[in-house]
Structure 1
Amino acid sequence: MAGHPREKVIPDEVHQNQILRELYHKELRTQKLYTQYHVNPLRKIHTITRKPMSWHDNLEEPADARFLNLIHHTAQGPKKKYPETQTENQEVGWDLEPLVNPERHDRRLNHFRICSDITLYKAKTWGLGDDRHK
């Protein structure tokens, strides 16, 4: 009779309490309370480094000149470290000085007041107060 569904049996409070009590006792049997702690002998121990900014840790050590020179060298820009570009991206912006002197009064590069047909037309429409062409 595979077609008949089984009725779902809802346990009463006594059976639920008994199930929870058994579960609680099983958990208590498997738990261990550790009160003594020790270092695992199979695990590698790492030493704790000192704080770099503490003044009492740095008193006994002299400054390493080679390390300081290395730090200062890496802090410099790439243009001070290398005579030429090292990557393709460094080529953009490597030479910062302009090729032509950017003087404002040089008429070859600066065309400030050039009047053409379009600029004259727009100036006249603005002078008339026509708001259609804004």
Structure 2
Amino acid sequence: MPEKKKREPMDMIKQNALYVETVKKENRNQTLFTKFHINYKKLNILTDKPNTPPKEGEEEDPAVLLAVQRARMEPEKKYPKPQTSSQEIGWISTPLLASDCGDRRFNFSRQNTDITSYMEAVWKS
């Protein structure tokens, strides 16, 4: 088996030469971009104050208005079916039975007894 050569510790001169070589390689492969452009057609950098009326002839973009309206919609109106597994819970929010307050089988309203009304008065004071 051949013996492995031991590396000599680098002195300051070798470290500096290595650093100079690294900087030269970086400068050789580095390119400077001076041509910049904006990827969006219509860009309003500064917005008007919220309490000022819109200027004459200035209209809002209908595509932006449609996107804002769509973002405000509920998920059930935006999508035909749930997009994630957590949306599946509560996706169909219409009740299965029409609620009838007179039916005692489904209406369990709060009932007070002497003890509960007494404790409620105690907790309020």
Bigger-Rg structure (1/2): 1
TM-score bucket (shorter structure): 0.3 to 0.5
Tell me the TM-score normalised to structure 1 length. 0.37
